Amino acid sequence: MHMLKIKDKEFTLYLSQKELERKVKELGEQISKDYQGKSPIVLGVLNGAFMFLSDLMKEVEVPLELSFIKIASYSGTNSTGKVKEVIGLSEDVKGRHVLIVEDIVDTGLSMTHLKEMVEAQKPASIAIASLLVKPEALKEPIDIDYVGFDIPTKFVVGYGLDYDGFGRNLKEIYQLK
Ligand code: 5GP
């Protein structure tokens, strides 16, 4: 399927299941290497990262704890620029190696905010994994330790990412036409 319509919008295939699988495996191997001898706590950012997180975690071969958090800053296809609170972040991250897993970094505002909130809990280290990054949309520089794909500033859906609630279940990633 190379074309897709969700509600009023048309999308075209951008990243195939194969490409995603290959990249996720690669990231998993890198993370396993980097965290050898450590037992990190992984913070998966809901909702968008659920599919990436699930596939990525199966490729990571160090003992880890998995926790879910939630932030929201988007409605429809335009960033509202507003960052809401972080739900589900506990003090358990104190002194731990924290790995944040996100679906996409766009302006970077959500991630910057989240990183600050985690830093305030005094973890031993923080690293960020994001399947997708839109480098041209970044409002402030932010270090993403594990990047799946750098993509253009265009709206994408699938593999966890939604358009108005739909498309999260797609096994590929589609780009707005
Ligand atoms: P940021 O704070 O970096 O601008 O936005 C990050 C959040 O915006 C992501 O976690 C995601 O929920 C949403 N977002 C940004 N770009 C896209 C996109 O192209 N498609 C979808 N579905 N969500 C996006």
pLDDT in tens, the chain (177 residues): 699 999 999 999 999 999 999 999 999 999 999 999 999 999 999 999 999 999 999 999 999 999 999 986 555 555 555 656 888 898 889 999 999 999 999 999 889 989 999 999 999 999 999 999 999 999 988 999 999 999 999 999 999 999 999 999 999 999 999
Is the CATH number 3.40.50.300 carried by domain 38-176? no
Q: Is 107 in the pocket of ligand 1 (CB under 6 A)?
A: yes
Ligand 1 centre from 19 Cα, in Å? Answer: 20
Residues involved in catalysis: 106
Q: Is 156 in the pocket of ligand 1 (CB under 6 A)?
A: yes
Sign of torsion over alpha carbons 99, 53, 149, 31: positive
Report residue 29 as tokens: 């191997």
Q: Is 74 in the pocket of ligand 1 (CB under 6 A)?
A: yes
Count of Cβ atoms closer than 10 Å to residue 65 Cβ: 12
Residue reference for tokens 């699930």: 54
Q: Is 105 in the pocket of ligand 1 (CB under 6 A)?
A: yes
pLDDT at 85: 80
Angle at Cα 126 formed by Cα 60 and Cα 111, nearest 5°?
100
pLDDT at 1: 67
**Residue 107 DSSP label:** S
Atom of ligand 1 nearest to the CA of 112: 2
Region label for 74, one of left (φ > 0), alpha (ψ between -120 and 50) or beta (otherwise): beta
pLDDT at 86: 87
Phi, psi of 76, deg, nearest 5: 70, -140
pTM: 0.94
